[in-house]
Amino acid sequence: MIKDQLSAYIKRTVEITDDELIHVLSFFKTLKPQKNELLLSEGQTSQRSFFVGTGCLRIYFKDENGQDSTRYIAFENMFATALVSFITGQPSLEYIQAIEPSELLYITHEDFNSLRKTVPAWEKFYCKYLEKAYVNTASRLLSFTTMDATERYKQLLSKNQTVVMRLPNKIVASYLNISQETLSRLKSKI
C-alpha cells in the first residue's frame, strides 16, 4: 500500500504522533500517470508535491535550444516537485514528468503549508525536505563547476547507479548534461 510507504517515510524523517500522522496522510491523493506523462510544464506554478510509490519522476528544464537538462530523478519512496516554484509561487522553469508508469501520492501546496501551521512535526518535516533538496542541489552544482564529464559519470555510478542501470541513455545523458554520444563513449571506456 502506497500510504504505508509514505507513512514509513514520514516516521523515518521526523517524530510524529499517530494522530498527527493520520491527519497528515488524509491530505494526500493518488495519481497514476502513464509513461512520459507531464505533470507540470514550464510557466505553470508548481502546486503539488509528489511522493513516488512505484515508478519514477524526473524534474528537468530546457535550455534555449530546447535541449533537456535533468535536475533530479525520484524513484520509489522519494518526494519530488519543481521546488523553486513551489517555494516562491512564481511560474516554474522546470517540468515534471513521469518517465515510467507510476503510482504517486500528492499533496497540494495549500494543504502542505496549512499543515505546517497546525502540525509542528510537519514544519520539521519541511525543514528535512529542504535540507535534502539543498544538499542534493549543492552537490550537483559542485559537480558541474569542478568536474569534467568523465568524473561526473564515475560519481553517478558510485553514488546513484540506479539512474544509469534503470533509465534510458537519453535521460542519463541529460542528467549528466552531456550528449548521448559522449555518454556512449564513457560507458564503453569505464
Interacting residues toward a copy of itself by CB under 8 A:
61-64, 69, 71, 83-84, 87-88, 93, 116, 120, 123-124, 126-127, 130-131, 133-135, 137-142, 144-147, 177
Instruction: Look at the block and give the residue holding cell 534555449.
Output: 64
Nearer to a copy of itself, 73 or 133 (CB): 133
List of long-range contacts for 150-154, beta carbons under 8 Å, 24+ apart: 150/186, 150/189, 150/190, 152/176, 152/177, 152/178, 153/178, 153/183, 153/186, 153/190, 154/190
Query: Are 104 and 32 a contacting pair, CB within 8 Å?
Result: yes
CB of 69 to a copy of itself, least distance (A): 4
Nearer to a copy of itself, 128 or 187 (CB): 128
Query: Are 66 and 52 a contacting pair, CB within 8 Å?
Result: no
Query: Are 144 and 156 a contacting pair, CB within 8 Å?
Result: no
CB of 154 to a copy of itself, least distance (A): 13
CB of 157 to a copy of itself, least distance (A): 18
Nearer to a copy of itself, 123 or 181 (CB): 123
The grid coordinates of residue 188 equal 564503453
CA 189 – CA 40 distance, rounded (Å): 37
CB of 33 to a copy of itself, least distance (A): 24
Query: Taking the CB of residue 10, how many other CB atoms lie within 10 A of it?
Result: 19
CB of 86 to a copy of itself, least distance (A): 10
Nearer to a copy of itself, 5 or 69 (CB): 69
Nearer to a copy of itself, 3 or 116 (CB): 116
